[in-house]
Structure 1
Amino acid sequence: MNFFIDQLFIQQDHSEGGLPLVGRHMIERIDLETGEKLPPSVNQKILEGSFSTKLTIRCDGTRVRVEGNPSRWQRIDNLFGLQSIDECVEIYNHVLAFYNLPPFTKNTRFSHRQTKDGKPSSLVGNGAEITLIDWTKNHEVGKGREPSFIRGLSSMQIGRGRKPKLYPDGNTCNWGEASTWMMTKLYNKATEFKRHLLKAQRKKIGVEPHVLEYITSLIDYCESVGVVREEHSFRQTLLKRHNLQFYGIVTEQDFYQHLQDIENAMKTINISHDEHQSIAHQLIASGAVDTLRKANVTMSYFSMWQHGTDLRNILSQSNFYVHKARLKTIGIDIAQQFDVSRMCPTLKRSEVIEVKPLRVPDWYKMPVVAESNILPFRAYA
């Protein structure tokens, strides 16, 4: 399936309590009616690793929670990432050990949780619970064809009537952006790399030369083959509805049946990539004229002819044949009446986009959990 994990939020409750408090600050709470001391409220601590990567961690004494992108942690990029949940949890457990917190453990059983009257029953396990997970993969669509591919799929609803939202630049499309169930996303990976690189370059510390060289190579590679990233973000409502929250019981394959919306959409539509060029630029490219001014003059007469004007009535005979000769070099004959059904003078090429899984280049540095776990990190905030 070529999917890997792009983001993972996971937590585990320890009913016996007594765990170290981890966060930025804590708020003590007391029940004003009974005077009973309530569990403290602890906010999250942000950790920063190499290459400006971040995770968040929190423990209020009983619940341990980590949020972040394990495939990106301590790495320059995440064009390709970790394919198993176990690898992601191994990275998180290394961080927990630094704060003397117990590791996330696999569920071996689950049972029904006691709920209030009138509320539906829910399940609770004896291990870690996944509250959000993003699955992603890369498509190779061809150089310069990313916007055409994204715009083509943005014309379709996917899943159960999830409507598309195409961003104005045409490089991103979301389905179910504000959903508590699931969000699906397509975006131009090279464009995303450029945005993050520009943001990093604006910082005081800038970008180290070897990092800049590697990111530039990634951008060049993504642009050369046309990389579109497909992402599926599974929110807590969907995870609980399909019992996908139990780490250790659920497998990677259990998620795959829910990752078919984009694949199914691609099976029902042929997306073409069209290349357009103005009449003026076609005239220059063909050598019919040597200046843009001459090209624009001829293009203006072409527009008049296109709207039904007989140019013989407004041009001298010699001038008419000058513009006729120029336009003939790009396949337009203004001596004939314009027929829109027989020509599309600005369309240079139209090709059906072929979609392939993205190949991993030989020079690409794949994620290695052991390497991520030996690199230092610090509390950021």
Structure 2
Amino acid sequence: MFIDYLSVEQVYPFDLPKIADITIERYCSRTGERLSVSQPGVKYEGSHSTSISIRVDGRKLIIQGNPSAVDRLDNLFGYQTVEQCVAVYNRILANLRDEAGNPVHMPMLSKCTRLEFMQAPASRVIRKKREGASGTIQTVETTHRHTTVGDGMRITRIDLTTNRAVGQGNEFQYVSSLSTQRAGYKPGHLYEDGCTVDWQARDQYRKAYIKAKAIAKFLLPKARRNFGDDSPEVKYLRDLIFYCDANGVVRMEQELKREYLLREGLCWWGLFDESRFQTIHNAFLKIDDRLKVTAMDFETISDHLISEGVVKDVRAANTTAMYAINWMTGKAKFDFTKRSIQTHRARLRRIGIDIANPCDALKVRPVVHVASREVIPVDVLPIPTWYRRPNHLQVAA
């Protein structure tokens, strides 16, 4: 299991330094007291394919992005712990500079050591009543909302990822079969291209997609624009696409949102057991336990004539296949005294089609089923020796 995306925030007991020339300050109109100061967010360009968003809101620091993709061409294999991801963020904060190029000296992200409870006033509408054209009269009740406050970093979103190998050529059948299953109480939705299936819910978002297609669609075009077609970076990504194709890699991703993390007690870093992430992710990976996927290979009559060695070129195969298609309509009348008809009939008989007999539409199809195989997914994907692994960074405080 890897961490693909991480959104965190931390509130400090002091005002944070400015990272932008523009600030938004809020004052109380009655007392003149300054209530809060916020700044526009800045982006740290980690690589050509990702960026890290950093925002300061008064005393709150908010960081969002994909730490596993920082300073890398890809993130097929990423960081496995929150601590490794936070180390990437802390390195970025240590090197952060403002618009003038001066060091910002931003404080580091840290683990929570204690948790406190507080309550804040909250209002809710308990009754509505409409009276004529004057509008709606609302009865509002003032209550108190209970919340928790920690002295360290809070996780607001985390994406858990596993690379599942289903075998070369089996990816589309596997993704299509997953779309028939429910994740929790949500049905699967298969995209039009057949490469992605997802399950949308309010508290978490799950999806599975063909990794080779994703790299070819999103990463490879950017690398070609930035480095050129003959660059080592483009060659590396093409090798990665070939590797994913050869293993039939299907990416299983699970996004845990703020509501889910708060409900399950997984938001305050340092105050929960991180192995619970693996347990939650394993429950998602079991979505295919009741599923038996059989991948089938099909060939057209023309392809089958060539693969069986009946003909050697595509033109001859297409010509013979047209006789079979005309025969399937039931209206064709062949003169079997002609040499050409005899030749095409002899070719088709070698693949089990005899155009001298009446066509049975229930038994004959324009495509030929040539092989079937059971798809057995494997979650332990070997890392190739040439793969560019993420750097081992300094452990966060």
Could you state the TM-score of these two structures normalised by the residue count of structure 2?
Answer: 0.82
Shift of residue 58, structure 1, vs aligned partner = 1.7
Percent identity at matched positions?
A: 34
Bigger relative contact order (CA 8 A; separation at least 6): 1
Q: In the aligned structure 2, how far is the partner of 1:227 from the partner of 1:291? A: 34
Contact 1:91/1:369, CA 8 A, preserved across alignment? no
Shift of residue 137, structure 1, vs aligned partner = 1.0
Per the alignment, do residues 240 and 208 of structure 1 end up closer, same or farther by CA in structure 2, a change over 3 Å counting? farther
Choose which of 354, 360, 369 in structure 1 pairs with 2:392: 369
What's 1:148 paired with?
A: 173
What's 2:27 paired with?
A: 30
Contact 2:38/2:56, CA 8 A, preserved across alignment? no
1:1-381 aligned at under 5 Å gives the runs: 3-14=1-12, 16-23=13-20, 25-32=22-29, 34-51=31-48, 53-98=50-95, 99-116=104-121, 117-118=142-143, 121-160=146-185, 162-176=186-200, 179-195=201-217, 196-203=219-226, 206=228, 209-308=231-330, 313-318=333-338, 320-339=341-360, 345-357=367-379, 358-370=381-393
What SS does the corresponding residue of 1:105 show, helix, strand or coil? coil
What SS does the corresponding residue of 2:345 show, helix, strand or coil? helix
What SS does the corresponding residue of 2:386 show, helix, strand or coil? coil
What SS does the corresponding residue of 1:259 show, helix, strand or coil? helix
Structure 2: unaligned runs, 5 residues or longer: 96-103, 122-141
- Output the amino acid matched with 1:279: I
Listed one character per residue, the Cα deviations across residues 97-142 of structure 1 (whole Å, up to 9, x for unaligned) are 3331222121122232313354553322221100010110101111
Q: In the aligned structure 1, how far is the partner of 2:305 from the partner of 2:144? A: 72
- Output the amino acid matched with 2:155: I
Q: In the aligned structure 2, how far is the partner of 1:171 from the partner of 1:270? A: 19
What's 1:378 paired with?
A: none
What SS does the corresponding residue of 2:10 show, helix, strand or coil? strand
Q: In the aligned structure 1, how far is the partner of 2:111 from the partner of 2:77? A: 25
Tell me how large the CA RMSD over aligned residues is.
2.7
**More strand per residue: 1 or 2?**
2
What SS does the corresponding residue of 1:25 show, helix, strand or coil? coil
What's 1:376 paired with?
A: none
Listed one character per residue, the Cα deviations across residues 323-379 of structure 1 (whole Å, up to 9, x for unaligned) are 321111212233445456656652222211121121111222322232899xxxxxx
Shift of residue 272, structure 1, vs aligned partner = 1.8
Structure 1: unaligned runs, 5 residues or longer: 374-381
Per the alignment, do residues 28 and 372 of structure 1 end up closer, same or farther by CA in structure 2, a change over 3 Å counting? same
Shift of residue 33, structure 1, vs aligned partner = 5.3
- Output the amino acid matched with 1:4: F
Per the alignment, do residues 363 and 46 of structure 1 end up closer, same or farther by CA in structure 2, a change over 3 Å counting? same
Per the alignment, do residues 285 and 247 of structure 1 end up closer, same or farther by CA in structure 2, a change over 3 Å counting? same
What's 2:130 paired with?
A: none
- Output the amino acid matched with 2:242: D
Q: In the aligned structure 2, how far is the partner of 1:12 from the partner of 1:289? A: 70
Contact 1:141/1:355, CA 8 A, preserved across alignment? yes
Per the alignment, do residues 208 and 33 of structure 1 end up closer, same or farther by CA in structure 2, a change over 3 Å counting? farther
Per the alignment, do residues 335 and 192 of structure 1 end up closer, same or farther by CA in structure 2, a change over 3 Å counting? same
Deviation above 6 Å: which 4+ runs of structure 1? Answer: none
